């Protein structure tokens, strides 16, 4: 018997075909029929002409820790996501030998802007090896399908401890252990390997995240330990590493590299730089070597206070103070010599840094004292000009006046729709970098897919709905080798999003205090979403999550050969 029939939907199938009005039948966890369906079903949903598309595939998330206490993976499933890749940048929480656990999460709390108390209170450590972690995910059952990257930094920490962030060269014995852990992860269903060489990735106390100091020869060895040629993907926060540096490794191992870096985001100060990186990747693709760029469809914005000033952490003035409490930070911020050092940093930014010294992009979002209300919704540079002060002093003095609780909004990269549009349309681009599950203190970009449909499809028209949906669904799924997802077709998994194209979008950011231990985070809510289905089971009804004893998401552990998928993608271009 058919489980569910969705009647009268306008189907946008994720594969590039023209929309059509039809019914969709779901039997077990798959799409069993498409057309004019007469069969009776246990549940019938009247779509009333709403668009039915595949669920969104988010290939850059950080739900590795949250999934241990929150099976809903809030807020992503409510925002249309049915498949998520975790372990990005190499910052997972497995392997997890007991002696390394607190070090791993201390670093994670800083590099990914997470509440350390929430991590300590929330993570249930009922796993140690990668296989244990996958078994835990299967027991719990999430509200989205999950694919897991093995993590270079986490593996390095498990083997080297604190020396992972201090010593560039691993010993031959340490490297052999790391290679064995990568091989074990792949044998237990990892989708690939995550790593980082980003200048912005520092851990607890300002230490560099382990993989960022490792020689490229170590990364090459770990990529080689993944198994047969073409098996798995590499997701790398590439920092200032160029396509020319990465292509030989992609060619050697036959595995596609998916880069995320501020260098490849649109920057009005250097408008041609990102496009050159994309073009270099496209040239590599034409040579048969998979080099792609993860490109966000939203400005790279950060909501922050000076008590947690993540956007500035890549500047050396912050190296010794990243783990300071607010009380420890206050005398530092009053110190004129420290201000001079930070001012020098801001005036001389390095390529790849989030904050490039543009104080005209730092806005006062929330001021707590009535006397400071005059500064709200004004940029630091404008305030400084009006008052005859330095913008750095404006930000620090205002923060100190309010106990470091003043909230700022920084819009640093990927600002300028016409420039960003060229990157989103580029053959080497993959719409991604939501960072869902991370940076919760500052931002929430988990609704990237709904924003894409509202802004780039409906409002600007850079994409029609057919191509817009494809870019969010089958395109990333196929490049990552994720089987039978991101499409509406008979036999495909019934991962579906029902929405109104006239109203689909995301709400403004809001703060909630629902982390373990009462910690606060930033979330967004959907607009125009009428239902989300994962493997045929409704996970979100348009207003609330649907309660299930166990989430319907699958733990993905078998993937199409990435070299074969990559070759198919080249042929389609």
Secondary structure of residue 536 in the 3-state scheme: coil
Helices (H), 294-451: 326-334, 336-347, 380-387, 391-401, 417-425, 448-451
What is the pLDDT, as a whole number, of residue 440? 83
Instruction: Encode pLDDT of 226-250 as tens digits.
Output: 999 999 999 999 999 999 999 999 9
Secondary structure of residue 85 in the 3-state scheme: strand
Residue 571, pLDDT > 80, answer no
Closest CA to 497 of 27, 12, 31, 36: 12
Domains of the chain: residue spans and CATH: 56-299+414-483+552-572 (3.20.20.140), 302-409 (no CATH)
Closest CA to 494 of 545, 537, 539: 537
What is the pLDDT, as a whole number, of residue 340? 97
CB 490 within 8 A of CB 37: no
CA-based torsion, 235, 238, 242, 244: positive or negative:
negative
Residue 475: band (very low, low, confident or very high) from pLDDT cuts 50, 70, 90: very high
Work out the burial of residue 513: count CB atoms within 10 Å of its CB; fewer than 13 is exposed, 13-18 middle, 19 or more buried. exposed
Average pLDDT estimate for 372-399? 96
- Displacement of CA 79 from its chain's centroid (Å): 14
Distance, in Å, from the CA atom of 81 to the CA atom of 101, rounded to the nearest integer, reads: 29
What is the pLDDT, as a whole number, of residue 511? 81
Residue 573, pLDDT > 70, answer no
**Range from 357-366, 382-391, 550-559 carrying the lowest mean pLDDT:** 357-366
Residue 301, pLDDT > 80, answer no
* Residue 197 exposure: Cα atoms within 13 Å on the Cβ side: 20
Distance, in Å, from the CA atom of 145 to the CA atom of 260, rounded to the nearest integer, reads: 22
Q: What percentage of the chain has pLDDT greater than the value 70?
A: 98
Residue 268: band (very low, low, confident or very high) from pLDDT cuts 50, 70, 90: confident
Instruction: Encode pLDDT of 207-217 as tens digits.
Output: 999 999 999 99
What is the pLDDT, as a whole number, of residue 308? 85
CA distances to 148, 210, 481, 524 from 448, in Å = 20, 29, 21, 10
For residues 461-488, one letter each, b for 16 or more C-beta atoms within 10 angstroms of the residue's C-beta and e for the rest, the string is ebbebbbbbbbbbbbbbbbbbbeebbbb
pTM: 0.90
- Displacement of CA 408 from its chain's centroid (Å): 22
Secondary structure of residue 459 in the 3-state scheme: helix
Average pLDDT estimate for 130-135? 98
Q: Which residues contact 74 (CB under 8 A, 6 or more apart)?
A: 523, 545
What is the pLDDT, as a whole number, of residue 567? 47
360: left (phi over 0), alpha (psi -120 to 50) or beta: alpha
**Token pair of 59 as six digits:** 């290939």
Helices (H), 335-390: 336-347, 380-387
**Range from 49-58, 401-410, 479-488 carrying the lowest mean pLDDT:** 401-410
**Token pair of 503 as six digits:** 């109203």
What is the pLDDT, as a whole number, of residue 423? 98
CA distances to 195, 293, 563, 569 from 284, in Å = 20, 12, 14, 13
Instruction: Encode pLDDT of 148-194 as tens digits.
Output: 999 999 999 999 999 999 999 999 999 999 999 999 999 999 999 99
Average pLDDT estimate for 371-392? 95
Average pLDDT estimate for 130-138? 98
Helix axes 391-401, 380-387, angle to 10 degrees: 100
CA-only gyration radius of the chain, Å:
23
Distance, in Å, from the CA atom of 44 to the CA atom of 9, rounded to the nearest integer, reads: 12
């Amino acid at each position: 018997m058919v489980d569910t029939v969705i009647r009268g939907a306008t189907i946008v199938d994720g594969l590039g075909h023209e929309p059509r009005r039809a019914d969709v039948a779901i039997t077990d966890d798959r799409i069993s029929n498409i057309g004019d369906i007469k069969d009776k079903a246990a549940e019938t949903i009247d779509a009333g002409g709403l668009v039915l598309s595949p669920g969104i595939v988010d290939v850059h998330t950080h739900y590795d820790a949250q999934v241990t206490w929150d099976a809903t993976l809030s807020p992503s499933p409510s925002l249309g996501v049915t498949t998520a890749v975790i372990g990005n940048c190499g910052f997972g929480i497995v392997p997890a030998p007991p002696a390394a656990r607190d070090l791993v999460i201390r670093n994670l709390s800083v590099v990914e802007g997470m509440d350390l108390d929430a991590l300590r209170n929330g993570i249930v450590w009922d796993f140690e090896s990668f296989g244990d972690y996958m078994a835990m995910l299967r027991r719990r059952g999430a509200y989205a399908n999950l694919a897991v990257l093995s993590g270079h930094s986490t593996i390095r920490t498990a083997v080297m401890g604190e020396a992972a962030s201090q010593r560039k060269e691993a010993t031959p014995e340490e490297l052999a252990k790391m290679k064995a852990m990568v091989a074990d992860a792949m044998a237990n269903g990892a989708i690939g390997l995550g790593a980082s060489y980003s200048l912005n990735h520092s851990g607890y106390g300002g230490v560099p995240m382990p993989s960022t100091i490792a020689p490229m020869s170590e990364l090459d060895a770990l990529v080689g330990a993944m198994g047969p040629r073409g098996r798995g993907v590499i997701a790398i926060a590439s920092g200032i590493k160029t396509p020319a540096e990465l292509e030989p490794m992609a060619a050697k191992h036959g595995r596609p590299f998916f880069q995320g870096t501020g260098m490849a985001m649109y920057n009005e100060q250097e408008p041609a730089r990102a496009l050159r990186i994309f073009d270099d990747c496209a040239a590599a693709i034409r040579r048969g070597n998979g080099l792609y760029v993860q490109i966000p469809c939203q400005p790279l914005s950060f909501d922050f206070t000076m008590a947690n000033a993540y956007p500035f952490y890549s500047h050396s003035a912050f190296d010794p103070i990243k783990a300071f409490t607010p009380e420890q930070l206050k005398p530092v911020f009053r110190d004129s010599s420290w201000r001079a050092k930070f001012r020098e940093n801001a005036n001389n930014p390095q390529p790849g840094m989030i904050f490039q010294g543009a104080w005209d992009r730092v806005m006062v979002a929330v001021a707590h004292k009535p006397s400071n209300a005059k500064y709200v919704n004004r940029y630091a540079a404008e305030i400084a000009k009006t008052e005859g002060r330095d913008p750095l002093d404006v930000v620090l003095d205002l923060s100190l006046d309010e106990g470091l609780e003043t909230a700022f909004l920084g819009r640093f990269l990927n600002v300028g729709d016409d420039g960003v549009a060229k990157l989103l349309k580029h053959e080497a681009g993959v719409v991604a970098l939501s960072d869902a599950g991370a940076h919760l203190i500052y931002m929430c970009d988990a609704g990237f897919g709904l924003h894409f449909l509202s802004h780039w499809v409906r409002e600007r028209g850079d994409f029609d709905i057919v191509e817009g949906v494809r870019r969010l669904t089958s395109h990333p799924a196929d490049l990552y080798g994720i089987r039978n997802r991101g499409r509406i077709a008979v036999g495909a998994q019934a991962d579906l999003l029902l929405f109104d194209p006239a109203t689909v979008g995301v709400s403004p950011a809001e703060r909630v205090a629902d982390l373990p231990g009462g910690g606060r985070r930033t979330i967004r809510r959907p607009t125009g979403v009428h239902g989300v289905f994962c493997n045929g089971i409704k996970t979100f009804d348009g207003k609330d999550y649907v309660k299930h004893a166990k989430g319907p998401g699958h733990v993905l552990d078998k993937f199409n050969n990435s070299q074969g998928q990559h070759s198919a993608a080249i042929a389609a271009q």
